[in-house]
Amino acid sequence: MYCADCESIDDYFFDETVFWIFVPTIESFGKIAGLCGSLGFESKQETTHCISTRVTRADISQFLTSLAGALEAPELAGTKVTTTESDHELDLKTVGRMTTFGVLINRFKAKWLADSVEQHRYETWYQPIVYAKTALSENVPFAHEGLFRIRDEHNTIVPPALAFQLAESSDLLFSLDLVARRSAVECAARANLRGKLFINFNPSSIYDPAYCLRATAAAINEIGLTPSDVVFEVTETHKATDVNHLKGILSFYRTAGFQVALDDIGSGWSGLNLMQALRPDYVKIDMELVRDVHNDPYKQNIVTNLIRISRLNGIQVVAEGVEVVEEAQWLIDAKADYLQGYLFGKPAPLEESVDEKRKDSIKASMAPLEKAAKDMS
């Protein structure tokens, strides 16, 4: 079994693209036929509910925008589409690439994202997580969190939240998640990073765990790490709509030796419910609770109880977003296990510290994850 979404991202757009549009009603068909005629695009009635039209690359943006305006929202929701190059016939493989019109538009908007991945315009920055007991004296890293950074065609860093939001709306989240995972592991290996590695895991990126786990475990093993060195940090916890499925996936990973962390605990009851359901190895207290905690008795009560609950259940606590010494000292006194924040280091790229031979070896070791996230263009 394999996960098709993880395996590749199909390119729906060519120098001359044939759009095969399947509409819910004859009225919708008439609207699209009229639109194609007014824009001067060659079109053909395939069936009473299917129309094909040829569009050059330069006209794709105008075509998609005009089509979105010509159809009402219910019509758009019921319209399916797939594409071929101009000289290709509609076949089962093409039908298998059928998607909604909304996803196709977002795929077009996400073309820069696919190009950036293909051109390897991305990297991982790391932020240290330090032992709380010695945070204000020795500042010894216990782990590092890998934070994905991707650049557009102008070499400008795009906010990660925006990149992942676009990936999700265009059905590319599975693949971008694997790209980010690959980057976190590879950049850490090139910098010869020591200690545990926290890798973000979006609960919306639920795919075949066996396939993706094999790719991840193989890559990690090849560069000399073990699963116990890696902690998958569940972010965007409010998006975990299918908790049982997520629980099953994370259980699969933990059985393989990986550990699990929950981010933003304390930001809402959903996080506490996930904590109970998933029984993570680590929880990260939301930075909004950490901000000025030394001056806010209300926050102090919440954080104190979160730490107490975690400790009773054998869960280690990371307080993130620590910016001043006073916050750190209060959290140390409150028995937090680890601290993270600008006070101890901002996210930054790491200098490579291995020779060219080792770099080539690391690149070869990334082949399982490279294969799983290929064909982004």
pLDDT tens across 69-120, in order? 999 988 888 999 999 998 788 889 889 889 998 889 888 988 889 889 888 8
CB neighbours of residue 152 within 10 Å: 14
Map out the domains of the chain as residue ranges.
Answer: 13-109, 115-372
Task: Please tell me the distance from the alpha carbon of residue 231 to that of residue 320, in angstroms, as a whole number.
Answer: 16
Q: Among 274, 134, 275, 250, which residue's Cα sits nearest to residue 199?
A: 250
Task: Please tell me the distance from the alpha carbon of residue 166 to that of residue 178, in angstroms, as a whole number.
Answer: 15
CB neighbours of residue 65 within 10 Å: 12
- Per DSSP, the three-state class of 159 is coil
Contact 23, 51 (CB under 8 A): yes
Q: Is pLDDT at 8 greater than 50 in this prediction?
A: no
Q: Which fold has domain 13-109?
A: Alpha-Beta Plaits (3.30.70)
Strand partners, 338: 131, 318
Q: Is pLDDT at 374 greater than 60 in this prediction?
A: no
Average pLDDT over residues 216-224: 74
Task: Please tell me the distance from the alpha carbon of residue 231 to that of residue 347, in angstroms, as a whole number.
Answer: 18
345: left (phi over 0), alpha (psi -120 to 50) or beta: left
Per-residue pLDDT of 36-75, as tens digits, reads 999 999 999 999 999 999 999 999 999 999 999 999 988 8
Question: In the prediction, which pLDDT does 6 show?
Answer: 41
Task: Please tell me the distance from the alpha carbon of residue 342 to that of residue 324, in angstroms, as a whole number.
Answer: 8
Task: Please tell me the distance from the alpha carbon of residue 121 to that of residue 79, in angstroms, as a whole number.
Answer: 34
CATH number of 115-372: 3.20.20.450
Question: In the prediction, which pLDDT does 205 show?
Answer: 63
Q: Is pLDDT at 227 greater than 70 in this prediction?
A: yes
> What DSSP string describes 77-93?
HH-EEEEEETT----HH
Q: Among 312, 310, 303, 352, which residue's Cα sits nearest to residue 330?
A: 303
Amino acid symbol at 238? H
Task: Please tell me the distance from the alpha carbon of residue 343 to that of residue 176, in angstroms, as a whole number.
Answer: 30
Phi and psi torsions of 42, nearest 5°: -65, 125
Buried/exposed 28-59: b ≥16 CB within 10 Å, e otherwise: bbebbbebbeeeebebeeeeebebbbebeeeb
Q: Is pLDDT at 237 greater than 70 in this prediction?
A: no
- The angle subtended at Cα 374 by Cα 373 and Cα 377, nearest 5°, is 120
Phi and psi torsions of 52, nearest 5°: -115, 145
Average pLDDT over residues 329-355: 93
Question: In the prediction, which pLDDT does 26 show?
Answer: 92
pTM above 0.85, yes or no: no
- The angle subtended at Cα 310 by Cα 306 and Cα 316, nearest 5°, is 115
Contact 150, 187 (CB under 8 A): no
